[in-house]
Amino acid sequence: MPRTPKRPCRYPGCPNLCDSGVYCRKHSEYSADRMRGSAAERGYDGKWRAARDRYLRRNPLCAECLKAGIITPATVVDHVIPHRGDKQLFWDERNWQPLCKDCHDKKTGSGL
């Protein structure tokens, strides 16, 4: 039975090859999500949820869909410029836009 070829470990800078999965044995406990912290640790807490809800009540339609002439309810408040932990940019409503989940996933690449 043919074996699957080994792949490079996805841990940054690691030269090892993986027998299975995306990380080598040395980095098998690594997870990009774990390293970036929980949603609450990144600022998406109760205060954010309340602000998000207020924003979506005032801006109920997806901005990207509207550009294409499609009316779709917005379900996500997106940071136009990624805040990368910058609290001032995180809370700046001029940096927010209402999006539907499909448009947000396309923008962030998480829907692939």
| Residues linked to residue 96 through DSSP beta bridges, in sequence order | 79
Kindly report the pTM of this predicted structure. 0.66
**Cα distances (Å, whole numbers) of residue 101 to 9, 13, 65, 108:** 31, 33, 11, 10
Q: How many CB atoms lie within 10 A of CB 106?
A: 14
Confidence of residue 110 (pLDDT cuts 50, 70, 90): low
pLDDT at res. 76: 96
* Mean predicted lDDT score pLDDT of the chain: 87
Q: Quick check: 95 and 79 in contact, CB under 8 A?
A: yes
Which position has the higher pLDDT, 9 or 50?
50
In this predicted model, what pLDDT tens digit does every residue of 6-15 receive, in sequence order? 889 888 788 9
